Amino acid sequence: MEVKKLFIIVLMACPAAGVFAQQPVKSATPDPKQLKRAERRERINQLIKQEEEGALIYQKQGAFGFKFNTDGWGMFYEHGKYKTITNTNLWWLEFGERKHPKEEKVPTLSASSGFLIISSYIYGKRNNFYYLKGGIGRQTLIGGKGNKNGVAVSAIYGGGLSLGLLKPYYIEIDNPTTGKREQIKYNNNDSLFLDPSIILGRGGLTKGLGEMKIVPGIHARTALRFDYGRFNELISALEVGLNAEYYTQSMPILLLNKEKKFFFNAYVALTFGRRK
């Protein structure tokens, strides 16, 4: 009887032993592919968490804006490419006008075909000074939004090339010699250009475009940008900064004042755009 029980126990134990024998031994070394997938999932989860907490997570951005300078105005387009959570590479194009701080508009009143015409001009202005700039730089995040309704603060710095565009400034006069209306520009010792008693107003806006002179130069820019956009994919920002430009020739803007090559100004800009 005991032999029979022993025989049954052996039969029951053998299949289990066979099954255990056939089970493969798992390797203690983790699969590299599984590790990479796990790390990638963790990075994505971290980015999602950071974005929910107000961090600016994106691949690229495009923005345009308007500048109010201490010596004129400007408008620009800016493109950015995301490098890290805190750094974005930038390039930009900007067009605007520089004005002399002593410029003053002089109102005039004249009669033409039975109508009174009110106009104005800038006395002694020799050239309109426009500029076209292209530059590269970096935007560095100083403080995140904290939440989607907060304000992100970034530092912007960089520089590049500038083109100064000098367009002759024309005025309209009542020529005492010919008795006719004429549009004239300054020609060195031109007494007619500086005689306020015969000036009727400024010339046409497009007058002098074909005579524009180009002067090359360089520029540098530094600023703080306050992005108050409600959603991370939209850019709504106020920028406060400083700008410096140097040209290879003196830029004659206003007569009877010293010409200069170096220009330094402060500005406030409104910036709007989108991130992707």
Report the predicted TM-score, pTM, of the whole model to 2 decimal places: 0.75
Q: What is the pLDDT of residue 18?
A: 47
Number of domains, the chain: 1
Using CA of residue 167, residue 169, residue 172, residue 176, what is the dihedral sign?
A: negative
Residue 205 belongs to domain spanning: 60-275
The answer to whether position 14 is within a domain reads no
Collect all residues with Cβ–Cβ distance below 8 Å to 79 and sequence separation of at least 6.
Answer: 60, 61, 62, 63, 90, 91, 92
The answer to whether position 84 is within a domain reads yes
The answer to whether position 118 is within a domain reads yes
Strand partners, 67: 74, 269
Q: What is the pLDDT of residue 113?
A: 53
The answer to whether position 46 is within a domain reads no
Question: pLDDT class for 20, splitting at 50, 70, 90?
Answer: very low
Q: What is the pLDDT of residue 16?
A: 46
The answer to whether position 8 is within a domain reads no
Nearest partner of 123 among 173, 74, 72, judged by Cα: 173
Domain of 148: which CATH number?
2.40.160.20
The answer to whether position 115 is within a domain reads yes
Among 1-15, 156-170, 194-208, 218-232, the range scoring the smallest mean pLDDT is 1-15
Average pLDDT, the chain: 83
Tell me how far apart the alpha carbons of residues 144 and 119 are, in angstroms, rounded to a whole number. Answer: 50
Question: pLDDT class for 37, splitting at 50, 70, 90?
Answer: confident
Among 46-55, 67-76, 82-91, 115-124, the range scoring the smallest mean pLDDT is 46-55
Q: Are strands 234-251 and 260-275 parallel, antiparallel or unpaired?
A: antiparallel
The answer to whether position 72 is within a domain reads yes
- Whether 17 shows a pLDDT value over 60: the answer reads no
Q: What is the pLDDT of residue 21?
A: 45
The answer to whether position 87 is within a domain reads yes
